[in-house]
Structure 1
């Protein structure tokens, strides 16, 4: 499996699931992709961004001899609140502002997935789909919001939160696939692989750095 992302959360999802992926960070101008989409629906925006990342990594692999099956997994996540999409906050001030807006409310985390299956370097199939998961935010104290933003942890995360680390203190619940909140839906990936006659077990590395065997 090739993870077309530098996201540590997505890599963590795969490694906890027994896969130690090859990581190739895509080089995509996300603003340019969104500009081309115009007034597209939110689900289409994240799906198109994921597809652009998958295509970028596939182009980087062109001309490189590869044997066997490769699966390129690209994703993009954004939070949908009050009809508006938001990605990474990047600054502590923006992170705190978003938390004040979303505290005590529910919002949808949309994660676009683009999966390309190759055999011996040739494309066997492509699939792009968006998974929507409802996140119910808690109501942290203003001091906790400021402290959380100051750690820097949520600045590179869609929705300005993490589920698997410090942000978990402030999430009251998740309705849907919790792995998709970390940026990658394992059930969707399993279904896509099955559509190409592939199981998940051949990708497991139970004695490798994933630590799954322990």
Structure 2
């Protein structure tokens, strides 16, 4: 069965171009293209949509607010497509339930893989976007935010868990973490499961944000 995708972007060139690209892959069914977040939410409330590709800056309702409403009201998984000019929205989009955050200048195959990943229940956050998030947070409040987890309550965590949280915040994958800490991939995964359990978080992107900001939302 094909993955049902909706595209929301106020730029008709990008919107229609993305539709052509996705249609070229047999696994996708582009069920709708809309111009703003309000139309995106309305459509997904009335129709079955697996993944919604959302631009950030749109009239009437932006992609962040649309993400929040889609997460609250529908089973549609929001995937943000953005530019570097939208840095300030990264944190809110993830907080409100975005399952992925991807740059528009990616190759079609990268976007295809991201849609697959999100549809399968996983999260996608480009390393370059995570780096921008981290840099932006540190620049915004150097006294309160550090890359050493100074804002979090360290009490519930073991030193190994804190090490892993720090490396996740730097954008390292499990395999990279295992090599750096000289432990197995399985041990890394077990520690991450423990961290998620202790924090009530759902995925590694939220772990990174929590480590950098102390916020669990």
Structure number with higher relative contact order (C-alpha < 8 Å, ≥ 6 residues apart): 1
Report the TM-score when normalising by structure 2. 0.28
Between Structure 1 and Structure 2, which shows a larger proportion of helix residues? 2
Report the TM-score when normalising by structure 1. 0.29
Between Structure 1 and Structure 2, which shows a larger proportion of strand residues? 1
